[in-house]
Structure 1
Amino acid sequence: MVTLAEVARRAKVTGATVSNVLRNPQKVKPETVERVMAAIRELGYRPNLTARALARGRTSTLALMLSNIANPFYPEFVLAAEREARKRGYFLLVCNTDDDPAITRAYLEQIAGSLASGIIVMNTDLGEGELTDVANRGVAVVLCMWEHVQPSRTLPCVTIDFAAAGALAATHLSGLGHRKFGALVGAGSGGPQTIRLDGFARALAAHGHSEKSLTVVHAHDSLESGYEATMGLLHRKPALTAIFATNDLMAIGAMQAAADLGKRVPDDLSVVGLTDIVLAHQFRPALTTVRLPTAEIAARSIALALEMVEGGTSTQDLYVVRAPELIVRESTGPAPSRRRRA
């Protein structure tokens, strides 16, 4: 078996430099990294991860716990998180809980502190109390994208201003002259996405719309549920001219329902989503949505977890990344009444 010392001799560097290249390549000169990696390839060196973990007192693995890998948002998030972890010399273990608290607990029991030194937990059915118990065992736990997070939390959290995201959608639709709105509010393992709705409703009120102008329907966070909810909503409220969905999958389902009901998007019905998954601009008509800074959220979550793994504590309890951004595409347009006047 090729040893680290042999790699160091071949690359004409110290053993410590080889270790840095494997663990923290950003701290080593690029030309040195290239020389060491060439020696590793030539010799066929494979690091002993178990020995490394024993020597360091921790593994080189972080775990990311998410609720449903079938939701396109999560693979996009995983891609960004994995790139950031790899850049910092760590592996990322992805744990799909399938919206099942029992699976979540099983993952925590099996990986916390053994397979993974740090865990990033996206919305789950578990409360902070159970996750705090894991943290008290010496495992770095970071919450990510939790919507109902309170300042008194005991665990650090990376999130965004969900209310501001909803407000952007409302301001856009109001500015287009819409007066009768529908809202599809998704619910996954993290609970109902009500903060997004609250931001939307408050912004409508600020723009002079009454409570009666908004009809709210709750559904599961999926394309199919968005379709079914919209079919019911438009049968009950056929005069609606705009729909806001608290995630892109439901928004796309809403556009499919509108098409099946003979409504044209955006001529008869404008639709706004929230997230900006890749499918949002691939679908036709392309979806107007409120973009979340997915890559930045992922990178900050990894950085915060490693700050705790390597330093023992976090410098912040709550990290709110930059504001969401309205991305206007083809699924929104002037309200039919305004278009007729023009």
Structure 2
Amino acid sequence: MRQHITIKDIARIAGVSTSTVSRALSNSPELSEQTRQRILEICRREGYRVNALARSLICNKTNVIGLIVPEVTNPFYAELSLGIETHARSLGYNVILCNGQNDAKVTEELFGFLISHQVDGIILASSQQDAGTMIQKLAPRLPAVLLGTPALVSGDEVNSVCIDNLAGGRLAAEHLLELGHRDIVYLGNRPNSLTHQLRLRGFTEMMEKAGIIPQVIDNPHGCSSIDIGCALSRKLFANGCSATAIFASTDSMALGVLQAADEYGISIPEDISLLGFDNIIYSALPKIELSTIDQRKQLLAEAAVDLLTRIIDSNEQDEFTHRMIRPTLVSRSSCRAPKK
């Protein structure tokens, strides 16, 4: 097997000192461009790679950030993670992606793992009420950003980026009311999630202004998935559903509604309109065409990375920043005016 190439080997081959090789690798202006290019070419030819650990010990910075999401299989978090990684790389940072599995103990262990690997900062994507407290407890001195839960509302002293879920709920209600719906089901509320509480509050506020009390079906589980959406919808349809529209708390839940509706011979939107929340990539597929509230994932991703890297570079953690982004409505073919 080929031996590991060290900086001393490169210096010997190039006929220069190790400090000269270091200057070439760090783009030092003290070195001529011709010499630098000659050394870099030798590095490429010999397969030399910079020792990231050694460099981090010298610079006290790894240019690596940790990202913890509740479930990587969830399309929303998969797309969000890609946006975070892409934007972070454009700023010179690599990302370690971790799956919290919707488990507080696993998430706590991942904090320890990331801190032990000397990441420069952590983004925690979570909608749980105690997410801010978890950051304060597990990473009190490490730059961190909470993504998905509005710390400004919860009162946690952490930096946060989130969508305006209150406005999103209102937007959903306005759209269905404008279409003429009055008998509407809100499906999939998670009582233990501040994000979902705000989403429901915005929705019910607008409905009550119109003199309507919507039927709310809670999701007792710790996550929102297609399977859960399907199971809740089966119960709804089996008991006889008089509603003309369903607002699903997430697009994944809405996909579960579609599956259950197909099983019960219910046509969407002819028999019942369906509105989701997230605008995941599957929502725009030709046979789905789901109307939804767009969380603007790319903007969320960029805002979280920009905030975290700013904190890392400035090393200022005395004040906390809260960024709230307004969602938008994406109207497709799953919603229409109710039958008369």
Q: TM-score, normalised by structure 2?
A: 0.83
Q: Distance in 1 between matches of 2:38 and 2:206?
A: 57
One-letter amino acid matched to 1:262: G
Within 2, Cα distance between the matches of 1:167 and 1:43?
Answer: 61
Change (3 A) 1:174 1:35: farther
Aligned in 2, Cα 1:279/1:38: closer, same or farther, shift over 3 Å? farther
Q: Give unpaired runs (5+ residues) of structure 1.
A: 22-33, 338-342
AA in 1 matched with 2:215: T
Tell me, yes or no, if structure 1 residue 97 matches structure 2 residue 100: yes
Counterpart-to-counterpart distance in 2, 1:253 and 1:20: 54
Secondary structure, counterpart of 2:190 in structure 1: strand
Out of 238, 242, 263, the position equivalent to 1:239 is 242
Q: Contact 1:2–1:43 at 8 Å: present in 2 too?
A: no
Q: Alignment partner of 1:273: what SS?
A: strand
Residue number among 66, 69, 74 corresponding to 2:77 in the alignment: 74
State the Cα distance separating 1:312 from its structure 2 match: 1.1
> Does residue 327 of structure 1 match 2:330?
yes
Q: Contact 2:64/2:119 (CA < 8 Å) preserved in 1? A: yes
Give matches, 1:277-292, under 5 Å: 277-282=280-285, 284-292=287-295
**Is 1:44 aligned with 2:50?**
no
> 2:218 matched to which residue of 1?
218
Structure 1 segments of 4 or more deviating over 4 A?
2-7, 13-18, 34-43, 124-127, 188-192
1:27 is aligned to: none
Are positions 1:130 and 2:134 aligned together? yes
Aligned residue in 1 for 2:277: 274
Deviates more, 1:105-114 or 1:215-224: 105-114
- Secondary structure of the equivalent of 2:257? helix
CA distance in 2, matches of 1:16, 1:203: 63
- In 2, Cα distance between the equivalents of 1:305 and 1:156? 8
**Structure 1 position 122, deviation (Å):** 1.1
Partner residue of 1:336?
A: 339
Matches within 5 A, 1:26-41: 41=44
Q: For the structure 1 residues 124 and 146, does the alpha-carbon distance in structure 2 shift closer, same or farther, using more than 3 Å as the test?
A: closer
Q: Give structure 2 stretches of 5+ with no counterpart.
A: 29-36
* Residues 1-342 of structure 1 aligned to structure 2 (within 5 Å): 1=5, 3=7, 19=26, 41=44, 44-112=47-115, 114-123=117-126, 126-136=130-140, 138-147=141-150, 149-150=152-153, 152-187=155-190, 190=193, 193-206=196-209, 208-211=210-213, 214-219=214-219, 220=221, 221-282=224-285, 284-313=287-316, 316-321=320-325, 323-337=326-340
Offset, 1:97:
1.1
Partner of 2:153, secondary structure, is coil
Root-mean-square deviation (CA), in Å?
Answer: 3.0
Give me the whole-angstrom Cα distance separating, in 2, the residues matched to 1:139 and 1:57. 13
Give the equivalent residue in structure 2 for 1:28.
none
In the other structure, the counterpart of 2:31 is none
Percent identical among aligned pairs is 27
CA radius of gyration, larger in: 2
Check 1:172–1:109 CA distance in 2 against 1; reply closer, same or farther (3 A cut): same
Q: Secondary structure at the match of 1:112?
A: helix
Measured after TM superposition, the shift of residue 151 of structure 1 is 6.2
Instruction: Give the length in aligned residue pairs.
Output: 316
SS of the counterpart of 1:143? Answer: strand
TM-score for both structures, normalised by structure 1:
0.83
Query: 2:82 is matched by which residue type in structure 1?
Result: L
Distance in 2, Cα, partners of 1:70 & 1:308: 29
